Structure 1
Amino acid sequence: MADRLNILVVGPHPDDQEAGMGATIARLAADGHNILLLDMTNGEPTPLGDVATRAKEAQAALEVLDQGTGNVQRRMLQLPGEARGYRDDTSAKVSDWGANALPNRWIEHTIEARRAVAGVIREHQAQVIFTPFFEDAHPDHKATTKIVEDARFDAKLTKAGLPGERIYPKWMFYYYATHLRWVANPQFCMDVTGFEDHKVRAIEAYYTQFVLPAQQPIPNAPVAVQSSQSQIPGAAGATRRPVKEWVHASLTYFGSRIGRPSGEAFYSKEPLGLAGIGGLVR
């Protein structure tokens, strides 16, 4: 590999990165890139989960995507209460600021959140950032993307009292893990042929979110839909789709748009430059 890139993949909750771009993460790890998964919250509360269990699930998903390469790390954002204060100490770490992880449903666009994410960007020296697509029904997803966009700018500032050396990541891409019922029209698709099962297994590692719900009655549904398979949660009364079926349907569709068996979709607000025409998928 010519260049090993530092890549930051931000998710509002543990499982969003896997659902949105799990196959791409697995491919990037296999390609030798240095990947950090940043969870903005601990993911709880949810109907069947708890904080300790979600942490174990997130670790299990990481191991699936890492494939034993050691190229994928994971951390949870520690939102510092004293982040407004200025400290001219670039050797300090975000974790030194002494704070706790946010719970599910509590992500807000604040200066503290921006600074915390900017600190992670600088610590990781991220050259590429992936964050959720900005149009979404989930408030946590929308807030996360706004925070990350602004933190990208903050990470380059001098005299900012942030840890690490300043950096402005060259590329910011948006993955699709949206709660809206629409089909993405991406600017580019990553060929993830051969990494489909990694995405399925990483999603299924979140047992309380995708496996256990399949064994429970759907709340307020007239008829409980039971299955031994892991399933994508649906609205009350809706039939849930098995994870493997849902993943392969999406990967196959976006793969067909680039002439490959499987693909994952991404968006960029900025033009992408090509060093040559030879890198295009043929």
Structure 2
Amino acid sequence: MTDGIDILIFGAHADDAEIGMGGTIAKHVQAGFRVAVCELTCSELSSNGTVERRKQEAAEAARILGLAERSNLGLPDRGISVCQEHIEAVAMEIRRLRPRIVFAPYHRDRHPDHVLCGQIVTEAVFNAKLRRYRPEVEPVTVEALYYYFINDTAVPDLVVDISESYEVKQQSLSAYESQFESPVGREDAVWTPLNQGYLSRVEARDRALGTQHQVAYAEGFAVKVPYMTELML
């Protein structure tokens, strides 16, 4: 058991957290918060890259962001589901890391694994606090649960100014060369939506949201219950 971290972000795959909230992660790390990321899968079905290379890229992105920890539950890529086994795996990770705040992917996204990841985390956050659920492990009550956007967006309930940390977000995304670099001249790579200007679209999204709120760049989040502003920078 650890002493607990401040923020724990779950994603279905390595790079989900960086795409959706890399600037918010960097901003909180720079302010002294302890932030961790946990992937549910090893992305073994990705069109480009190998499991080993993606682990190396995720480790480099973690270094750039300054994460306190990065973990992976090893659940099956394109095989996760809102079942007791997967909910329990996430709930136990919450109990192990003891975060104050949890983030998960938003419930609407073109990738089904992102949607399922958010649903699993929602269930796991609830189970993690129940004292008679796996009573041999101390329960954890998370103070707040937020949802970040990966591919699809909605009107955010909360907006974070990431102007000063945006360069770090871009650097963390650049670590994922297997996913975002052009496949031209690479025999082991194919064209996908991710290597056809995807990062430019992410930047345009973050810039547009920032412009709406009179800052250079911003990331948005959704909540199911009223949020406590003092929990965020």
Query: TM-score, normalization: structure 1?
Result: 0.74
RMSD after superposition: 2.5
| 1:56 and 2:56 aligned | yes
d(CA) in 1 for partners of 2:92, 2:100: 14
Where does residue 139 of structure 1 map in the other structure? 112
2:91 aligns with 118
Displacement after TM superposition at 1:215 (Å): 5.2
Q: State the alpha-carbon separation in 1 of the partners of residues 173 and 165 from structure 2.
A: 13
Deviations 1:183-231 (CA, angstroms, capped at 9, x unpaired): 5311111011121121112112111111153656996xxxx8xxxxxx9
Matches within 5 A, 1:53-132: 53-66=53-66, 71-77=67-73, 101-132=74-105
Verify the 8 A CA contact 1:123 1:163 in the aligned structure 2.
no
Q: CA deviation at 1:34?
A: 1.3
**Structure 2 match to 1:209:** 179
Q: Per-residue deviation at 1:273?
A: 3.5
- Greater Rg over alpha carbons, structure: 1
Could you tell me which residue of structure 1 aligns to residue 10 of structure 2?
10
Is the contact between residue 45 and residue 103 of structure 1 (CA under 8 Å) also seen in structure 2?
no
Which runs of no fewer than 5 residues in structure 1 stay unpaired? 78-100, 225-230, 235-239
Q: Distance in 2 between matches of 1:201 and 1:242?
A: 15
Which position in structure 1 is the counterpart of 2:194? 233
Question: Which residue matches 2:21?
Answer: 21
Structure with more of its chain in helix, by fraction:
2
In the superposition, relative to structure 1, how do residues 247 and 139 fare at CA in structure 2: closer, same or farther (>3 Å)? closer
Question: Which residue of the partner structure matches residue 226 of structure 2?
Answer: 271
Query: 2: CA distance between counterparts of 1:166 and 1:177?
Result: 30
Shift in CA distance, 51/273, structure 1 to aligned 2, threshold 3 Å: closer
Secondary structure of 1:264's aligned partner = strand
Corresponding residue SS for 1:136: coil
C-alpha change, 1:273 and 1:37, in structure 2 (3 Å) is: closer
Q: Provide closer, same or farther for how the CA distance between residues 103 and 112 of structure 1 changes in structure 2, counting only shifts above 3 A.
A: closer
Secondary structure at the counterpart of residue 132 of structure 2: coil
Offset of 1:141 from its aligned partner? 1.1
**Which runs of 5 or more residues in structure 2 are unaligned?**
none
In the superposition, the TM-score normalised over structure 2's length comes to: 0.88
Answer yes or no: is the 8 Å Cα contact 1:210–1:233 preserved in 2.
Answer: yes
1:259 paired residue among 214, 221, 226: 214
Structure possessing the higher relative contact order (Cα contacts under 8 Å, 6 or more residues apart) = 2
- Post-superposition Cα deviations, 1:117-153, rounded to whole Å, max 9, x if no partner, equal 1111111111111100011222211111111001011
Contact 1:213 1:233 in 2 (8 A): no
Runs of 4+ in 1 over 6 A off after TM superposition: none
Q: Is 1:159 aligned to residue 132 of structure 2? A: yes
Amino acid at match of 1:117: V
- The offset of 1:43, in angstroms, is 1.0
CA contact (8 A) 1:65 1:72 kept: no
Give secondary structure in 2 for the equivalent of 1:194: helix
- Structure 1 Cα separation of the partners of residues 53 and 135 of structure 2: 32
Contact 2:106-2:148 at 8 Å conserved across structures: yes
Against the structure 1 CA distance between its residues 203 and 20, is the aligned structure 2 distance closer, same or farther, given a 3 Å change threshold? same
What secondary structure sits across from 1:172 in the alignment?
Answer: strand
Distance across 2 between alignment mates of 1:130 and 1:62: 16
- The residue type paired with residue 129 of structure 1 is V
Task: Please give the alpha-carbon distance, in whole angstroms, between the structure 2 residues aligned to 1:260 and 1:61.
Answer: 25
Residues 8 and 36, structure 2, Cα contact 8 Å, conserved in 1: yes
> Could you say what secondary structure the match of 1:8 adopts?
strand
